[in-house]
Amino acid sequence: MKTIRNTTFFLTLAAAAMILFVSPVLSQDKPDSNMQIVRDKIKADKKLLVAENMELTESEAKAFWPVYEAYQNDLMAINQRIGRLIESYAADCQKTALTDEKAEKLIAELVGIQKAEAELQASYVPKLSKVLSPKKVARYLQIETKIRAIVKYELAAQIPLVK
């Protein structure tokens, strides 16, 4: 399979997409209108990246983009859960008061988020398969997985280990 084109663009997009995960934290410092502008730009850049790498025919594109948009909307709920989890952990780190009880709650939420993300992806495979060939479904899932992996890597690099 071809490597994703415009690697610099891809990395910039993925790093910027962190804002989608932690927007509840960031929105406290910036007006909602500014955050919405940033979110819209990130979504547009991600969609462009997907479009450039999917190599869709006109008929495939017509059927694919509504499924893509629905998936992104459903994924937003998971991103918001991740943002709330990070915000909760950050608040406890600032207080240096992460108790075993709170750690257990964080673990349960983390596992729940990972499970929800896997279930969401699995629920979209049949929808994608109705509009794309198996190879193109696999390509889209690869692109989405790579973007999320880079975002999660960037987040992980910035989040301190539990003490």
The answer to the question of residue 128 being in a domain is yes
Give whole-number Cα distances, 75 to 8, 100, 148, in Å: 24, 30, 11
- Rounded to a whole number of angstroms, the CA Rg of the chain reads 17
Per DSSP (E only), the strands in the chain are none
Q: CB neighbours of 6 closer than 8 A, spacing ≥ 6?
A: 49, 52
The answer to the question of residue 139 being in a domain is yes
Q: What is the pLDDT of residue 1?
A: 43
Token duo for residue 107: 């673990």
Give whole-number Cα distances, 46 to 14, 23, 121, 141, in Å: 8, 17, 17, 14
The answer to the question of residue 1 being in a domain is no
Q: How do the pLDDT tens digits run along the chain, 163 residues long? A: 445 555 545 555 554 555 555 544 444 455 567 767 777 778 888 899 999 999 999 999 999 999 999 999 999 999 999 989 988 888 888 877 788 998 899 999 999 999 999 999 999 999 999 999 999 999 999 999 998 898 888 888 888 888 8
Alpha carbon of residue 5 to chain centroid? 19
The answer to the question of residue 163 being in a domain is no
The answer to the question of residue 79 being in a domain is yes
Burial class (CB in 10 A: 0-12, 13-18, 19+), 9: middle
Global confidence as pTM: 0.78
The answer to the question of residue 49 being in a domain is yes
Q: What is the pLDDT of residue 163?
A: 80
Domain of 125 in residue numbering reads as 7-158
The answer to the question of residue 61 being in a domain is yes
Question: Which phi-psi region, left, alpha or beta, contains residue 6 (left: φ > 0; alpha: ψ -120 to 50)?
Answer: left
Burial class (CB in 10 A: 0-12, 13-18, 19+), 113: middle
Domain count for the chain:
1
The answer to the question of residue 2 being in a domain is no
Burial class (CB in 10 A: 0-12, 13-18, 19+), 20: buried
Q: What is the pLDDT of residue 3?
A: 53
Residue with tokens 């929800």: 116
Among the listed residues 155, 126, 123, 137, the one whose alpha carbon sits nearest the alpha carbon of residue 17: 155
Amino acid at 152: K
Q: What is the pLDDT of residue 25?
A: 46
